[in-house]
Amino acid sequence: MATLHTLAAVESARQDIRKSRFLAIAGPVDSEAAAKAFITAHSDATANHNCWAWRVGQAYRFSDDGEPGGTAGKPILQAIDGQSLDRVAVVVTRWFGGALLGSGGLIRAYGGTAAACLRAAAKIPLIETAEVTITCGFADLALVEARLAGLPAARITAQNYTATGGAFTVSIHRPELEATLAMVADLTSGRATISMPR
C-alpha cells in the first residue's frame, strides 16, 4: 500500500474554463470539525458554487453545492484519493461565466482544478503513531523528558506530576516505538512504567 500523505500548508490553484472562474483551495485537516471550519473559512459567499470534499481516515464527505449531482464534490474527493492523500480538505469555488459546461465538463473542471491544486501542494508523509504513557520517579524525570524532547519521532502531548514523580503521554512514530521504549527502559534502569492504551 502506498504511503499516505497530507499537505504541509494551504495551497490554491485557479482555472478559467469557458468564462467560468474556478478557484481550488486545499489544506491539511485533522478532524471532521477542522474540515468543516476549513470549508467555512475558504468558501466565498459571492460565488455561484462552493463545492468541496474532505477525507480524514475512513471518514469523508463531499458537496455539489447546487451543481448537478455527482459533478463536483465526488470528482474533488477522487482528486484527493487519486493522489494518496489523507487529512485533507478541498474547496473549489466557481463564479459562473454564462456558458454551460454540461456534466462531463463540470466533472473535468472541478476534479481538474482540485487535482492541479493538490499536485502543486507540498506534501508530508503521514506516519502512524502510538500513544504511550511513561511514568517515572523524580530521579529519572528530567533525563527522560530531555531525551524524549530530542527525538524527532516522539512528541510529548501531556505531562502530569505526582507526589513521587510524573507521567508523560507521548505520541511515538510506530516504526520507532520499540527503540524509543528500549531507550526509556535503559535510561531509567527499568524503573519507568510504560503503558499503552488499547
Over residues 18-31, the mean pLDDT reads 94
Given a contact cutoff of 8 angstroms between Cβ atoms, the answer to whether 56 and 77 are in contact is no
For the stretch 165-189, pLDDT in tens is 999 999 888 888 889 999 999 999 9
% the chain with pLDDT above 70: 98
Torsional sign, CA 17, 118, 30, 106: positive
**What pLDDT is stored for residue 1 in this prediction?**
43
- pLDDT category at 197 given cuts 50, 70, 90 is low
What single-letter DSSP state applies at residue 2?
P
**What pLDDT is stored for residue 132 in this prediction?**
92
N- to C-terminal Cα separation, the chain: 24
**What pLDDT is stored for residue 184 in this prediction?**
92
Over residues 56-83, the mean pLDDT reads 94
Type of residue at 59: A
Residue 58 CA to its chain's centroid (Å): 12
**What pLDDT is stored for residue 2 in this prediction?**
57
CA distance 74 to 53: 7
CA distance 1 to 92: 29
Over residues 121-149, the mean pLDDT reads 89
What single-letter DSSP state applies at residue 196?
-
- Alpha helices by DSSP H, listed for 27-101, are 32-42, 73-82
CA distance 5 to 11: 15
On the question of pLDDT at 98 being above 50, the answer is: yes
**What pLDDT is stored for residue 198 in this prediction?**
57
pTM for this structure?
0.69
% the chain with pLDDT above 90: 67
Take residue 88 and report the three cell numbers written for it. 485533507
- pLDDT category at 97 given cuts 50, 70, 90 is confident
Helix (H) or strand (E) holding 113, with range, is helix 102-120
Using only C-alpha atoms, what is the Rg of the chain?
Answer: 23
Write out the E strands in 37-143. 49-56, 59-63, 88-95, 123-125, 129-137
CA distance 13 to 150: 37
Helix/strand/coil for 69: coil
